[in-house]
Amino acid sequence: YVSGLERCNIKASVVALGWGAEVMKVSPAELMAREEREIAQGPAKPQKETGRPKG
């Protein structure tokens, strides 16, 4: 379920938002505020790593 949320394959319901907030020990409002801050920052640039490519 979480993987599907991260990949935007499924949308979270209000109930699921409450469950996630409870697990992380924050309020649902704080969880939404965190998401809004992440969205406002935009995508992060990829991190370059030394060595051979993985995979």
Domain boundaries, the chain: 2-40
Q: Which helix (H) or strand (E) holds 39?
A: helix 28-41
The per-residue pLDDT for 55 is 64
10: Cβ contacts below 8 Å, ≥ 6 apart: 1, 4
pLDDT in tens, 27-36: 989 988 988 8
- The answer to whether the beta carbons of residues 46 and 35 sit under 8 Å apart is no
13: Cβ contacts below 8 Å, ≥ 6 apart: none
Model confidence pTM above 0.75: no
3: Cβ contacts below 8 Å, ≥ 6 apart: none
